[in-house]
Amino acid sequence: MLIGRMLVHQEFDDVALILESLPLDKRLERWAKIPTASRLNILVVMRGDPRETLLDAMSLDELDALFQEMDAEDLVELADSLPNRLVDRALQAMDSKQRQYYEGAQKYADELAGHWVDHNQLILPQNAKVRDGLRLLRRELPDHVDAVFLINRAGHFSRAVHIGDIIGAPDHVPLTDLSEPDPHEFLVIAASDSAVDAAFRVQKSGYSALPVVDAQGLLLGRMDVRTASEIVNEYYEGQIMAGAGMDEDEDLFSPVVTSAKNRAFWLGINLLTAFAASWFIGLFTITLQEIVALAVLMPIVASMGGIAGSQTLTLIIRGLALGQVTKDNRRALLKKELSVGGLNGIIWAITVGIIVSIWFANPMIGVVIALAILVNICAGALSGVVIPIVLSKLKLDPALSGSVVLTTVTDIVGFVVFLGLGSLIL
């Protein structure tokens, strides 16, 4: 009943979310009851893995019915979930224009703006007049449209005219007279731009959509605010999941073997770093045998440095994603984070030092752990700034591998400093 009401109100995103939250058998049971006319809209907004479970369960006749309703933008979204033979079958069901749009999108990788072009736009030649614009506006308007794009005879983007400026203007006035005084003031997206960067630009532009052009300035289509929001949401979700070494498309109820395989790699990486930390601890076996208190207190030192580093790491990764971290401000940012680490290090070093001194009735153990915590928190702050910047330069995703590297650094620094000071002082 709930899904039925959602379908009546075309709440396809909510239906997709419900289906993704169901175990596979119940998901397929509900999917079988969904009308054919609504299926494409639901599949387009679903995550990759749960979508594949539904597509795999559909018969060839059901897929053909789906393909009859599909345009190029829908196929671009679904192509990764379909084998090549079914992509070809979907293309055969399209008219030549839609096939051309799809082939144009495939010229660009899926991380580029040109891959996600929407062709539902309002276009007029640059010599058009207000009467032409009004005639165009009497037709059914695409979603998220607030401007008419003007092109020259070669199809190159020239200017954009706001719909509000067209309405009420005299019929004989050229549309170019109503456009931005400087055509370059209207933001244009290059098809070779990063899709995420382009999506941020759309969100910040104040327009419902921005034109997308190729290297020669030919108007390919547009990126509207809905597409931009989806790209940005997927990007942030990917950052969150990548921090745990996982894929944002993973199905909540994917098969056990599949889920285990997807997560095994980063568990292995973590195991290697744990062995590295254990090896450094092994260098101080004699010290640990003689002073058992150090073994009891080691997790405190590692934890304090790890948390401090994670806070900085999260801040820097967000700054990199938003373009806030630049060559000009890295030094100032490093100085600021080291100052924060130093201040927190002093406060918590004194606090923990006093507690430990009373706990073990030995002031020197308190001194050792206080110094170790101070050094490790500062090391965590330093690593939290340096690691994501270095990984970004190496073209590695800081969200995916940064936390693993950071944990290794703070564990090793914390253990070596703590046990080393323990050996020297105690």
Strand arrangement of the beta sheet that strand 219-224 belongs to: 189-190, 209-213, 219-224
Tally DSSP H helices, then E strands, for the chain: 19, 6
Dist. CA 360–CA 369, nearest whole Å: 12
Q: Where in the chain is the domain with CATH 1.10.357.20?
A: 256-425
Residue among 158, 163, 161, 162 at smallest CA distance from 213: 158
How much is the pLDDT for 259?
57
**Residue 157 token pair:** 């983007």
3-state DSSP call for residue 239?
A: helix
- Establish how many alpha carbons lie within 13 A of residue 304's alpha carbon, considering only the half-sphere containing its beta carbon: 29
- pLDDT surpassing 80 at residue 278: no
How much is the pLDDT for 339?
92
Q: Which fold has domain 2-106?
A: MgtE N-terminal fold (1.25.60)
Q: Which fold has domain 256-425?
A: Tetracycline Repressor; domain 2 (1.10.357)
How much is the pLDDT for 207?
87
How much is the pLDDT for 250?
55
**Confidence band for 340, pLDDT divided at 50, 70 and 90:** very high
- By mean pLDDT, which of 15-24, 30-39, 199-208, 254-263 is the weakest? 254-263
135-to-139, 140, 321 alpha-carbon distances in Å: 7, 11, 43
Dist. CA 134–CA 163, nearest whole Å: 9
**Residue 343 token pair:** 């201040």
Span 185-210, pLDDT tens digits: 568 999 999 999 999 999 988 889 99
How much is the pLDDT for 209?
92
Dist. CA 129–CA 131, nearest whole Å: 5
- By mean pLDDT, which of 158-172, 219-233, 259-273, 369-383 is the weakest? 259-273
Report, as an integer, the average pLDDT of 30-46.
Answer: 88
Span 367-411, pLDDT tens digits: 999 999 999 999 999 999 999 899 888 877 777 678 878 888 898
Q: Where in the chain is the domain with CATH 3.10.580.10?
A: 123-242
Amino acid of residue 298: M
- Higher-confidence position of 380 and 261: 380
Report, as an integer, the average pLDDT of 67-86.
Answer: 88
Distant-in-sequence, close-in-space partners of 286: CB < 8 Å, separation ≥ 6:
none
Report, as an integer, the average pLDDT of 252-266.
Answer: 60
Dist. CA 366–CA 373, nearest whole Å: 11
Report, as an integer, the average pLDDT of 217-239.
Answer: 87
How much is the pLDDT for 112?
93
Q: Which fold has domain 123-242?
A: CBS-domain (3.10.580)
Q: Where in the chain is the domain with CATH 1.25.60?
A: 2-106
- pLDDT surpassing 80 at residue 267: no
Burial of 243 (0-12, 13-18, 19+ CB in 10 A): buried
Q: What percent of the chain has pLDDT over 70?
A: 85
Computed over its alpha carbons, how large is the radius of gyration of the chain?
Answer: 29
- pLDDT surpassing 90 at residue 117: yes
Dist. CA 289–CA 91, nearest whole Å: 71
How much is the pLDDT for 270?
64
How much is the pLDDT for 310?
87
How much is the pLDDT for 100?
92
Q: What percent of the chain has pLDDT over 90?
A: 31
In this structure, are strands 147-151 and 219-224 parallel, antiparallel, or unpaired?
unpaired
How much is the pLDDT for 274?
65
Sequence-ordered alpha helix ranges (H) in 209-255? 225-242
In this structure, are strands 209-213 and 189-190 parallel, antiparallel, or unpaired?
parallel
Span 83-107, pLDDT tens digits: 888 899 999 999 999 999 999 999 9
